[in-house]
Amino acid sequence: MSDLAHDAALSDHGEHESTGIENRKLGMWVFLSSEFLFFGALITNYLLYSNRGGFEGVYPSEIYDIPFTSVSSFVLLMSSLTMVLAHNAQSRHDQNGARTWLFATASLGAVFLGGQVFEFTEFIVIYDMTLSTNPAASAFFVLTGFHGAHVAIGVIMLLSLWGMSRRRGGLSDRQGLNLELVGLYWHFVDIIWIVIFTVVYLLSTPPT
Amino acid sequence: MSTEHTTDHPTPSQYWKIAVVLAVLTAIEVALFYINRELELGPLNAVLLISLALLKFVIVVGWYMHLRFEKSLLSRFFTAGFLLASGCYLVVLSALGIVVIRGG
Amino acid sequence: MTATAERPQTTIFRRPRSTTGLWSWLTTVDHKRIGILYGYAAFTFFILGGIEALLLRIQLTQANSEFLTAGAYNALFTMHGTTMIFLFVMPVSSAFMNYLLPLLIGARDVAFPRLNALSWWIFFFGGIFLYSTFFFGTSLPPVGADGISGNLAAGGGPGSFNFLASSPDGGWFSYQPNAGPLYSPGTAMDYWALGLQMLGLASLVSAINFIVTVFNMRALGMRLLRMPVFAWMTTVVAFLLLFSLPIIAVALFMVAFDRQFGTVFFAATGGGDPILWQHLFWLFGHPEVYILVLPAMGIVSEVLPVFSRKPLFGYSAVVFAGAAIGFLGFGVWAHHMFASGITPVAQAAFGLATMIIAIPTGIKIFNWMGTMWGGRLKLNTPLLFAMGFVGMFTIGGLSGVTHSVVPSDWQQTDTYYIVAHFHYVLFGGAVFGLFAGLYYWFPKLTGRLMNDRWGKVHFWLMFIGFNLTFAPMHWLGLQGMVRRTWKYAPETGLEPWNVAVTVGAFTIALSIAVFMVNWWTSRRRGPKSGIDPWDARTVEWMTPSPTPEHNFTEPPVVTRLDHFWHLKYDEDEEGRPVRRPDADQLLERLEYEGYNPKSPIHLPNPSYFPLTTAMGLPLIFYGIIYHTSSWGKALIVLGALVMLASLIGWGMEPVEEPHVSHDQDDDDGDSADFEQAEADHV
């Protein structure tokens, strides 16, 4: 518990923040705004190639498993619920509750990732669509691959918070802010998937 | 700077209710996908699906990310990034012939 | 104080404490030291980029010269551009922004000091990684080449100097698929793509840091519209970096994946679209050029008022024009693609947008002129370079406006006319502005003044050399001299002016040598500057020079724009400045108090985790280049583990251990409080 007290006594050198928003929180929102440009480029790339006709090999839009992807999208969406419940518990200093919901979020994220791995494996092994098959396939794998990498990093951060909380008997206020920030990141990764699910999967049309 | 929020947070039960809304919206989206396959809604399909996605987007950002209750500076940054990305990439898609702007 | 000192469980997490010596530099999180590190590194790359340019010029002095092979020529112009943009102008601007931003807004450091160190170390390893291509990179002829010309031949083609031909040679813009796996096999362009990826990450992290710093860490009373213009330009640049770097990151990943993992983004034979590369590259590339020039514009906006002894003409207009340039900069990228087959509507739209962006630029130029007009000019070196900026940048801006006329641009594209334009704005503009800043802020860094006479020699040599080098390129281009081509025929008649250009280039080199000697001797033996050598206007001069580690003993409470000036001067009935009788006393007090704070001042602790985190990146990227081998794969895993372990350590090291400014009176660099804490612990 002494570590918690130590952390609580200090807060970023106690400096006043001209906007009234904590430095780290402002920093996370600034970072997330830049990620629109990142995923936007990948989505644009996918839209460019996804139904351009004339490529050899199978197109991603021909082999989507909508029911499967709907379920994994639902899983990721629900992980946003568990994430916000974790933050809520932490802000009430319910350390046990926070840990439970953190672990739940990480688990749902892992399930989502498992689904992605399954989908990729199916595409590669059964349908013979790899990174190199054609531009549409390249675009699909790189877009969803980078999204998946973001989810994986999120899971690592969630488990780190969970582990730290277990080790020290709970998170301090300072670490509680970090939990909120990981939450912001996690929700962002979720909303990117909301866009991808609609634009890439549900709006997919066969190539012209 | 304490991490306690001075603004009101939604309660856990409100978060659950929001989750139900999100799940329902997702179900509608998936249903639309199949309806479109049967009925060929044309451009209406894209309009509806994108609207639903945007609605889910706004709900998660506004309530789960708490942006509705935060200082407006944060929404300004976030919106700026979103608008800049949308603007630039729509122009690129138009220039490459994917999105057709009249006369383009 | 003592109650909060907590000894961590293991010594790995003990925050480093040294304040002198190599270890202190390796673990520093002090924005001033980080700025200095950026500065010296950038200048080293400036010299390397300059040597690359001189080699190019030697080749082009004579028609049909075969001093360089075509392969070496391609590599040299690629690395010259890449080096000057990413390894010189950007990091030297970063040096200024790092050193000055907290001082200009009255803060003790940036918002995230360890993240700041991380940016520096990623840049450092990125630069080394990129340049290691000279040793490890390979540039092979494409499959099926018949060895006729250029780097298609294995030996680079005919020519005496082929050294360096196996470095990146696809141009700094790396147009696809020419610079892709089919037409540029080998590893050189992979070093380029992955090196740039690292450098981009460093700048992105920096941008987030600066934005949070500007918004959150201003001194009391320092409203946004009271900040010095350089602080504003830093903010605009940070937003430009924030929003443009993710785009090039995606583009570079796509190139790297095409080259390494067989994706088909840009390979035309597989259906990839080369124009997509151009869009993505220039979506970043155009904001990038404003990133390159806005800091220098900020410097000029600081220097001109001080040396004209007048306030900046139209401060708000200059600030808003800077912001407008930044914003509009995202709307003009396809003016680099007028000759690439985009539609007439796109050409018209982008041509128009490009013309519009000349308006805020013009506002700034008129305001700078208005600042000087009627002022009592002190023609010292900083002012000469600032005036040089205004003149040379205007010329470059005018040739830029001629590019915005699409049919005219079709004639100019790929000729030396374009080379003339961007060197006028980047060298005559950014570089002149940066030198103005170096001479101006040298006292803050060292407590001494540079030799003004030799500064003027530097200026005039550089001014003459610069114009002799780049002015002829305007007409050489219009006469048809083609870019990126290793030789030209004697019948073209281009040789005489090319000789002049080369003479100019070596004159520039001479001027740089003068500068370097001046810098080196002034650091040691220059006259002491005192706290306010230039009778300046802004708050960074309210601390002693050289700047104490803690910046300000008491952060200033700002009451108006040019707060410092108004502490020293009142105005008479005609608006002329009248020095207040207590001004000198004020300066003495500031100098004394700056070095003698009454109570210990807490500073962010040093840390070595930024260094170790950054070290993981080159390991991963070397591993990616050689990933087909087992040791390559091992490197990727090792690099990832190093980063993960470092980030965990970063998260777990104690937030604060006693670390006070070592400018306070103390024997061994530790504060009295810390020694008390040591004694208290069992």
Whether A13 is in a domain gets the answer no
Helix (H, G, I), strand (E, B) or coil at C599: coil
Residue C654: its chain A contacts at CB < 8 A? 6
Prior bond to C177 cis, omega within 30?
Answer: yes
Whether A2 is in a domain gets the answer no
B85, A37: Cβ pair inside 8 Å?
Answer: yes
C203 in Cβ contact with A34 (< 8 Å): no
Is the CB of residue B74 less than 8 Å away from at least one CB of chain A?
yes
Residue B84: its chain C contacts at CB < 8 A? 243, 330
- List Cβ neighbours of A77 (8 Å cut-off, separation of 6 or more): A190, A194, B19, B22, B23, B26, B56
A38, C250: Cβ pair inside 8 Å?
Answer: yes
Residue A142: its chain C contacts at CB < 8 A? 253-254, 257, 263
Tell me: pLDDT of B102 over 60: no
Q: What is the pLDDT of residues B56-71, one digit of tens each?
A: 999 999 999 999 999 9
pLDDT of res. A1: 35
**What CATH number has the domain bearing residue A37?**
1.20.120.80
Residues in chain A: 208
Helix (H, G, I), strand (E, B) or coil at C15: coil
Specify the DSSP element, H or E, that contains C578. strand C577-579
B82: closest CA of chain A, how far (Å)? 6
Return the percentage of chain A with pLDDT > 70, whole number. 92
Residue C390, CA distances (Å) to C303, C360, C427 in order: 12, 14, 12
Specify the DSSP element, H or E, that contains C571. strand C569-571
Closest partner residue to A80 (CB to CB) among B60, B80, B84 is B60
Q: State how far the Cα of B57 lies from the Cα of B75, in Å rounded to an integer.
A: 14
Whether A178 is in a domain gets the answer yes
Q: State how far the Cα of C452 lies from the Cα of C533, in Å rounded to an integer.
A: 13
Closest partner residue to B3 (CB to CB) among A19, A180, A191 is A180
Mean pLDDT of B27-43: 91
* Among candidate residues C508, C657, C672, C664, the one with its CA nearest the CA of residue C5: C657
Q: What helix, strand, coil percent values describe chain B, rounded to 5?
A: 75, 0, 25
Torsion sign over Cα C515, C520, C526, C529? positive
Q: State how far the Cα of C510 lies from the Cα of C508, in Å rounded to an integer.
A: 5
C342, B95: Cβ pair inside 8 Å?
Answer: yes
DSSP state letters, B48-96 = HHHHHHHHHHHHIIIIIS-GGGS-HHHHHHHHHHHHHHHHHHHHHHHHT
pLDDT of res. C672: 42
Closest partner residue to A6 (CB to CB) among C4, C280, C648 is C4
B102: closest CA of chain A, how far (Å)? 18
Helices (H), chain A: 2-9, 23-50, 66-91, 95-121, 135-168, 173-196
Tell me: pLDDT of B28 over 70: yes
C331 in Cβ contact with C567 (< 8 Å): no
Residue A15: its chain C contacts at CB < 8 A? 108, 217
Q: State how far the Cα of C497 lies from the Cα of C467, in Å rounded to an integer.
A: 12
Whether A14 is in a domain gets the answer no
Closest partner residue to B95 (CB to CB) among C243, C330, C346 is C346
C216: closest CA of chain A, how far (Å)? 4
Residue C108: its chain A contacts at CB < 8 A? 15
Q: State how far the Cα of C576 lies from the Cα of C615, in Å rounded to an integer.
A: 56
C334, B95: Cβ pair inside 8 Å?
Answer: yes
**Number of structural domains, chain A?**
1
- List Cβ neighbours of C31 (8 Å cut-off, separation of 6 or more): C98, C99, C101, C102, C109, C110, C113, C116
Whether A207 is in a domain gets the answer no
Q: State how far the Cα of C274 lies from the Cα of C257, in Å rounded to an integer.
A: 15
C263, A9: Cβ pair inside 8 Å?
Answer: no
Which residue on chain B is closest to C342 by alpha carbon? Answer: B95
Q: What helix, strand, coil percent values describe chain C, rounded to 5?
A: 65, 0, 30
Helix (H, G, I), strand (E, B) or coil at C287: helix
Q: State how far the Cα of A45 lies from the Cα of A197, in Å rounded to an integer.
A: 16
pLDDT of res. C166: 80
pLDDT-derived band at A14 (thresholds 50, 70, 90) equals: low
Residue B56: its chain A contacts at CB < 8 A? 77, 191, 194
Closest partner residue to C264 (CB to CB) among A35, A135, A174 is A135
Residue C242: its chain A contacts at CB < 8 A? 30, 33-34
A47, B98: Cβ pair inside 8 Å?
Answer: yes
The overall longest dimension of chain B from CA atoms, in Å, is: 56
Residue A190: its chain B contacts at CB < 8 A? 60
Tell me: pLDDT of B6 over 80: no
The overall longest dimension of chain A from CA atoms, in Å, is: 66
pLDDT of res. C146: 52
Is the CB of residue B12 less than 8 Å away from at least one CB of chain C?
no
Which residue on chain B is closest to C279 by alpha carbon? Answer: B92
Is the CB of residue C539 less than 8 Å away from at least one CB of chain A?
no
Task: For residue A34, give its domain range.
Answer: 19-202
B88, C273: Cβ pair inside 8 Å?
Answer: no
Is the CB of residue A21 less than 8 Å away from at least one CB of chain C?
yes
The conformation of residue C482, written as its DSSP 8-state character, comes to B
pLDDT of res. C28: 94
Residue that the structure tokens 């809304």 belong to: B21
Whether A136 is in a domain gets the answer yes
Whether A139 is in a domain gets the answer yes
C349: closest CA of chain A, how far (Å)? 21
A residues 63-122 lying closer than 8 A (beta carbon) to C: none
Whether A30 is in a domain gets the answer yes
Greater confidence (A80 vs C665) lies with A80
Q: State how far the Cα of C73 lies from the Cα of C165, in Å rounded to an integer.
A: 7
Closest partner residue to B103 (CB to CB) among C247, C342, C345 is C345
* Among candidate residues C14, C1, C10, the one with its CA nearest the CA of residue C609: C14
pLDDT of res. B10: 86
Q: State how far the Cα of C539 lies from the Cα of C531, in Å rounded to an integer.
A: 11
Kindly list the partner chains of chain B, i.e. chains with 3 or more CB atom pairs below 8 Å. A, C
**Which stretches of chain C score pLDDT less than 70?**
1-14, 17-18, 143-157, 656-682
A115: closest CA of chain B, how far (Å)? 18
Q: State how far the Cα of C181 lies from the Cα of C600, in Å rounded to an integer.
A: 59
pLDDT of res. C156: 62
Complex ipTM: 0.92
Is the CB of residue A6 less than 8 Å away from at least one CB of chain C?
yes
Tokens in use for C661?
């400014």
pLDDT of res. A208: 67
Residue C208: its chain A contacts at CB < 8 A? 27, 30-31, 34
Closest partner residue to B81 (CB to CB) among C215, C243, C276 is C243
Is the CB of residue C6 less than 8 Å away from at least one CB of chain A?
yes
pLDDT of res. A8: 30
Torsion, CA A41, CA A45, CA A48, CA A49, rounded to 10? -170
Q: State how far the Cα of B18 lies from the Cα of B55, in Å rounded to an integer.
A: 12
* Among candidate residues C409, C318, C412, C394, the one with its CA nearest the CA of residue C358: C394
Pairing of the two strands C569-571 and C577-579: antiparallel
B residues 5-44 lying closer than 8 A (beta carbon) to A: 5, 9, 11-12, 15-16, 18-19, 22-23, 26, 29-30, 32-33
Mutate: best of C243, C245, C266, partner B, most B CBs <10 A: C243
Closest partner residue to B49 (CB to CB) among A20, A191, A203 is A203
C406 in Cβ contact with C343 (< 8 Å): no
Residue that the structure tokens 């639309």 belong to: B32
